[in-house]
Amino acid sequence: MSRLPFLFIFTGIIGFAWYQAVSLAAFTGWLTGELRGPDGWFHVHLFILGWATMLAMGAVYQLIGVILQSRLYSERLGYVQYAIFTVGLAGLLYGFDQGVIAWIAGSAVLALVGIALFGWNIAVTLIRAARWNAITVSAACAVLYLALTGLSGLAMGLNFATGDWTGLAERLFGAHIWMGTVGWFGLLITGFSYKLLPMFYLAHDYPVKLQAVVLVLWNASVLVGALAFLLDASVWLLWFALLLLTAAIVVYNVHLLQIRRHRHKRNPGSGIRWSLLSSHMLALSAVAMLIYAALYPDRWLQADAVRLAGWLYLAGWVSFTILSYVSKIVPFLWWTSKYGKHAGKPGTPVMADLLKERPVGIGLASIAALHLLLAAGLLTGWETLTGAAGSVLSVCSVAYIVLIGRVFTR
């Protein structure tokens, strides 16, 4: 088994622990402060690139071969891409922390090159295999949106440094966030869930028509939303993008229930059960946000509303889903790599010995409850609650990720 996915996963775990440590040190104050500044950019990019994207890349490198039943185009290119992306990310974070534009600009180019190499490696792998379905098309679209997110981020940096393209920075900023959060993470998680959930539920003969519906609606939402930002269009065009996204999320949840209904394994593990609950909460949040936006079209794009929506989506669904999945993926990968050849021999541990279900369930339940408490603090504007919930959340999150990391010592 290739060691490439482990590099990304292990680095992502370090990024997650680092993010939680700096959030704890700041009493989560950065979240209630000005996000569009060096401190906010540092925390957001550490969370999105250092944790979620880093680990997602590792998952793609591992799962793409399983999905396609073929080899990655170039494992060597994967190692080169890891080095370039990691160095670029480290420099970008240093630039944000120190407020040095030259570091930000140069490192952003490196990070973008890393993203481009990742996109090329996955694209060639997909094209060579030519096995197109909802899973592979979702992955291809997700990688495309990741590349476009990087390009729009670089364009924003150039605009910031030169002062050219007056008025474009705000529009690029909206498209950058929309394509990265909704496009990259949304399509990657939904697409890979079509493979992971049936595998862990041992589900067979479930209907798959809704996968295509989700794919069309989700892509339509990404494109309409990005255009609405870039063209500085009416708020109602952006609301229409939100409507498409909400419809996609609701249909996606219906499909998850279809998979669950056709299961042959009653208990897939705490991580999988919590990932489903997270998706259901996302659907409720999306419907609530859609109604709020229709009733108060002049308020839903204000900083506080966007902050709350971003927290519910990125921390409450994207990050929480990744945390849920790694409780299954990491033990599986490590056991296969270390003990796969010795399966069935005396003294060889079973996969369940690497990570016990009870602490996983307790850890995810604690993180979920604290996510909701923090969201309540953001909703009410109660900074003490936000800070306290965020601090305890950081402690619990570090404890959970240490639990996951200890698998590599088994």
In this structure, is residue 385 part of a structural domain? yes
In this structure, is residue 169 part of a structural domain? no
Query: pLDDT tens, 57-105?
Result: 999 999 998 898 889 999 999 999 999 999 999 999 999 999 888 888 8
The residue out of 71, 101, 130 marking a domain boundary is 130
pLDDT of residue 93: 96
Query: pLDDT tens, 15-67?
Result: 999 999 999 988 767 787 777 778 889 999 999 999 999 999 999 999 998 89
In this structure, is residue 349 part of a structural domain? yes
Q: What is the DSSP string of 296-352?
A: -TTTTTSHHHHHHHHIIIIIIIIIHHHHHHHHHHHHHHHHHHHHGGGTTSTTPPPGG
Give Cα 112 distance to the centre of its chain.
18
Mean pLDDT, all residues of the chain: 93
Structural domain boundaries enclosing 93: 1-130
In this structure, is residue 71 part of a structural domain? yes
Mean pLDDT for 387-400 is 96
Tokens of 342: 């010795």
Tokens of 335: 């056991």
- Least-confidence region, from 19-33, 205-219, 280-294, 390-404: 19-33
Domain count, the chain: 2
**Which residues fall within 8 angstroms of residue 227, CB to CB, at 6 or more apart?**
233, 237
pLDDT of residue 101: 83
pLDDT of residue 350: 83
In this structure, is residue 354 part of a structural domain? yes
Tokens of 113: 């090159």
In this structure, is residue 11 part of a structural domain? yes
Q: What angle do CA 103, 179, 287 make, to 5 degrees?
A: 135
In this structure, is residue 365 part of a structural domain? yes
pLDDT of residue 304: 92
Q: What is the DSSP string of 241-301?
A: HHHHHHHHHHHHHHHHHHHHHT-S-S---HHHHHHHHHHHHHHHHHHHHHHHHHH-TTTTT
Closest CA to 108 of 91, 122, 94: 91
The residue out of 74, 96, 130 marking a domain boundary is 130
The residue out of 97, 130, 163 marking a domain boundary is 130
- Tokens 């399966």 locate to 343
In this structure, is residue 163 part of a structural domain? no
pLDDT of residue 364: 98
Mean pLDDT for 344-352 is 80
- Give the confidence band of 388 by pLDDT, cuts at 50, 70, 90: very high
